[in-house]
A and B are shown apart, each in its own frame.
Chain A
Amino acid sequence: MKCFGENSLSSVVGVLLKIAWWVVLVGSIIAGVVFAMLLFSKPLGDWIADQVIKLNATSNIREIYNWALILKIIALPYIGIVVALQLQIIKKAQHLFANFTNNVVFNKSNVQITAKISNLLIGYSILTVNFSLLLVSIILVILCVIIRDGTKLQEEHDLTV
């Protein structure tokens, strides 16, 4: 299977990313509302906790009630930032793969998109304390330099007569 152009691996990944973006958006809204209820509404929180315990008896979801107020207040914005980063990363990746689908590989906009994705991924991996993701983002920074150099070579090739 070819990597770039129509009906390629890039176009398939592009479609998957579009679906992923909506799944993350809807999932995070639902999860956010449920989590807020658990944190701040005792009756609704109890009902949700009961449902979760029915599904998974070993769940220790009720421990959330024992969290300090400051932790409860910080938790929601933290989740909001993490979800926003996820959505941004997916959106940027969508743009990148759309360019790949259009056979635009070594291009200045791809360099910028890759740089933005790597920066966002570094932030995301630090926030979620995920070191394997940090490694991926460092590889992406290197890939960004490779695409930048490739763009220069492509430009030189295009302007060679």
Chain B
Amino acid sequence: MSIIFRLDRVMADRKISLNELAKRIDLTDSNLSIFKTGKAKAVRISTMDALCRELNCQPGDLLEYQPDGKNIVE
């Protein structure tokens, strides 16, 4: 897969911690960490919806496709 996870960058822009975001979107810290570190195999639409709502961003801001690359975390 060549999906880059940009959650780290968006969180830094919004100055929000992982714990705080996890609380706001009603997700466990470990699950959000899985998303943040790019280990996730699937993302629920409801999770994406909550993330976009809380971070005031688009799904494309959180995920990016890059040809011939592995799952990259930024």
Contact = CB atoms under 8 A, between A and B. Distances in A.
Interface of A: 155-156, 159-161
A156 B47 CA distance: 16
Contacts of B42: 156, 159-161
Interface string B2-13: 000000000000
23 contacts: A155-B41, A156-B41, A156-B42, A159-B34, A159-B39, A159-B40, A159-B41, A159-B42, A160-B40, A160-B41, A160-B42, A160-B43, A160-B44, A161-B27, A161-B31, A161-B32, A161-B34, A161-B35, A161-B40, A161-B42, A161-B43, A161-B44, A161-B47
Interface in B39-63: 39-44, 47
Among A155, A159, A161, which residue has the most Cβ atoms of chain B within 10 A? Answer: A161
Interface residues on B, range: 10 to 19
Contacts, number: 23
A152 to B, nearest CB: 10
A156 B44 CA distance: 12
Interface of B: 27, 31-32, 34-35, 39-44, 47
A161 B34 CA distance: 7
A151 B27 CA distance: 24
B25 to A, nearest CB: 10
A15 to B, nearest CB: 35
A132 B32 CA distance: 50
A161 B43 CA distance: 5
Contacts of A155: 41
A159 B38 CA distance: 10
